[in-house]
Chain A
Amino acid sequence: DSGVTQTPKHLITATGQRVTLRCSPRSGDLSVYWYQQSLDQGLQFLIQYYNGEERAKGNILERFSAQQFPDLHSELNLSSLELGDSALYFCASSVGMAAGNNEQFFGPGTRLTVL
């Protein structure tokens, strides 16, 4: 157990809908990262928050948004869902943003299925 929690574990929804994925980082970690993992794809970085502020953006669609709350948990909002959004969504956390070996700890993931 990495200490990072994600809910829900599975989510099945229809095209056009909106969902919210939730992540709680490890105790003491200030950085939260969101990744998308589709079939046959590696880990695609979406967005990072540090202590409540957005710090880096990757290949995140405009239909997707995220935020990190004062208690450091984070939510990833996916709207106008398409079939291609079906994927595993991972959250990871780390202590900070040090340039050294700032290890990321991954949560168990949320499997999103869009029908």
Chain B
Amino acid sequence: GENVEQHPSTLSVQEGDSAVIKCTYSDSASNYFPWYKQELGKRPQLIIDIRSNVGEKKDQRIAVTLNKTAKHFSLHITETQPEDSAVYFCAARGGGSYIPTFGRGTSLIVHP
């Protein structure tokens, strides 16, 4: 089955800095890669996703890049704000399975 590794487990940045979270996946047939943000005690919410036929996608301060050859994808957050502080999960889905496999999460802390 699919295996998703996510790094780092914790990321601490100053407000205004950029943050990058990286994930690798094992199944080359995976074709859909969502990112979820989970604030403390709340539900995971989809913030951005990318399909395998696209290399990069942006939405205001967040962007996701995908390298199919290397089987890794990354979340980039620019001009971080304290409200960006949360746990971020990457996931990969495809290859005959419609169940996403999640990474273990990255706790992002943005210091004001």
Stretch in contact with the other chain, from A13-21, A37-45, A60-68, A72-80: A37-45
Give Cα A84–Cα B12 distance, bound, in whole angstroms.
Answer: 30
Contact between A97 and B34, CB atoms less than 8 A apart:
no
Q: Which residue on chain A has the smallest CB distance to residue B87?
A: A42
Cβ contact of A109, chosen from B43, B103, B104, cutoff 8 A = B43
Q: In the assembled complex, which residues on chain A have CB atoms less than 8 Å from the CB atom of B36?
A: 106
Q: In the assembled complex, which residues on chain A have CB atoms less than 8 Å from the CB atom of B51?
A: 100-101
* Chain B CB within 8 A of A25 CB: no
Please tell me the number of chain A residues within 8 Å of chain B, measured between CB atoms: 23
- If the complex has contacts A99-B31, A100-B51, A107-B43, are A42 and B98 also in contact, measured as CB distance less than 8 A? no
Cβ contact of B104, chosen from A42, A48, A56, A58, cutoff 8 A = A42
Give Cα A105–Cα B44 distance, bound, in whole angstroms.
Answer: 8
Q: Smallest Cβ distance from A20 to chain B, in angstroms?
A: 20
Q: How many A-B residue pairs have CB under 8 A?
A: 53
Q: In the assembled complex, which residues on chain A have CB atoms less than 8 Å from the CB atom of B6?
A: 42
Contact between A42 and B97, CB atoms less than 8 A apart:
no
* Chain B CB within 8 A of A102 CB: yes
Q: Smallest Cβ distance from A87 to chain B, in angstroms?
A: 13
B residues with a Cβ closer than 8 A to A are: 6, 31-32, 34, 36, 42-46, 49, 51, 89, 94, 97-105
A residues with a Cβ closer than 8 A to B are: 2, 33, 41-43, 45, 48, 56, 58, 90, 97-109
Q: Give 10 A-B pairs besides A43-B44, A102-B32, A103-B46 with Cβ atoms closer than 8 angstroms.
A: A45-B99, A56-B97, A56-B98, A97-B98, A98-B98, A102-B98, A104-B100, A106-B36, A106-B44, A108-B43
